[in-house]
């Protein structure tokens, strides 16, 4: 790699890192090219040297934000043994998005999903793929727990994934709207009780 392309890649990366919180707080439609140029610290022409336009930059900023979220879930699970312990680690990592999101503005997948679902098929597809990763993570943990005998045989991976993701994303929205972490705290307590009821010792249903 020449010094010149290395420098170009660093600049491109810096533009993406600085664009991500702009999109995640103002939304795609609410972020103007001037907002993004200002955040990048470059001149307008400088930004167009790296990106064809707002959509290309938004997709890369989304991928960057989604990768930071995956890293957070990954490191939360490190060193955790057992299904319930790993599920709790993921739930707590999600809860941390209320007060300490990796990118300002909360969950980029929720924000992009709600803005794009009726409006922007390209962004919607990207949000859908990222949400699918998060649903599959919960579903796989439940499957593993059933296989190991830690969870009851009738614990349902798909249902558990839908319920856990829906409750936590909804609680994040409520806590941000009301500037009150209590909605997330109460929802986390509920989700953990529900997951506990799926263990072989827990006595609940699927």
- Alpha carbon separation from 123 to 19, 28, 36, 65, 102 (Å, rounded): 15, 9, 18, 13, 20
Residue in 35, 173, 192, 200 binding its own copies, rule: CB under 8 A:
173
Q: Dig out the tokens for 2 from the structure.
A: 């020449």
- Using CB under 8 A as the binding rule, whether residue 117 contacts its own copies is answered as yes
174 contacts: CB under 8 Å, gap ≥ 6:
180, 183, 184
Per DSSP, the three-state class of 37 is helix
Phi/psi at 199 (nearest 5 deg)?
Answer: -70, 160
Using the minimum distance from each CB to its own copies, give the nearer residue, 89 or 98.
98
- Using CB under 8 A as the binding rule, whether residue 202 contacts its own copies is answered as no
- Using CB under 8 A as the binding rule, whether residue 168 contacts its own copies is answered as yes
Residue in 1, 52, 118, 201 binding its own copies, rule: CB under 8 A:
118
Residue in 40, 152, 187, 199 binding its own copies, rule: CB under 8 A:
187
- Using CB under 8 A as the binding rule, whether residue 166 contacts its own copies is answered as yes
Under 8 Å between Cβ of 191 and 164 = yes
Using the minimum distance from each CB to its own copies, give the nearer residue, 42 or 172.
172
Binding to its own copies (CB under 8 A): which residues in 53-92? none
Q: How far is the CB of 6 from its own copies (least distance, A)?
A: 34
Encode burial over 78-111: b for 16+ CB neighbours within 10 A, e otherwise: eeeeebbebbbbbbebbbebbeebbbebbbbbbb
- Using CB under 8 A as the binding rule, whether residue 127 contacts its own copies is answered as yes
Site of interaction with its own copies (CB under 8 A):
24-30, 104-106, 110-111, 113-115, 117-119, 124, 127-128, 131-132, 135, 158-159, 162-163, 165-171, 173-174, 176-178, 182-183, 186-187, 189-190, 193-194, 205
């Amino acid at each position: 790699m020449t010094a010149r392309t290395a420098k170009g890649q660093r600049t491109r990366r810096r533009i993406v890192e600085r664009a991500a919180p702009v999109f995640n707080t103002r939304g795609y439609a609410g972020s103007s090219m001037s907002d993004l140029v200002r955040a990048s610290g470059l001149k307008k022409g400088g930004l167009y040297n790296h990106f064809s336009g707002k959509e290309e930059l938004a997709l890369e900023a989304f991928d960057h934000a989604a990768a930071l979220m995956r890293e957070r879930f990954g490191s939360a699970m490190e060193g955790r043994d057992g299904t319930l312990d790993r599920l709790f680690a993921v739930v707590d990592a999600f809860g941390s998005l209320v007060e300490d999101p990796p990118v300002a503005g909360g969950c980029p997948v929720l924000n992009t999903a709600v803005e794009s679902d009726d409006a922007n098929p390209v962004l919607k597809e990207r949000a859908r793929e990222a949400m699918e990763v998060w649903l599959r993570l919960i579903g796989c943990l439940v499957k593993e727990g059933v296989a190991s005998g830690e969870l009851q045989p009738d614990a349902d991976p798909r249902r558990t994934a839908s319920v856990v993701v829906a409750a936590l994303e909804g609680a994040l929205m409520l806590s941000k709207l009301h500037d009150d972490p209590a909605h997330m705290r109460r929802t986390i307590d509920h989700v953990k009780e529900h997951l506990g009821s799926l263990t072989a010792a827990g006595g609940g249903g699927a």
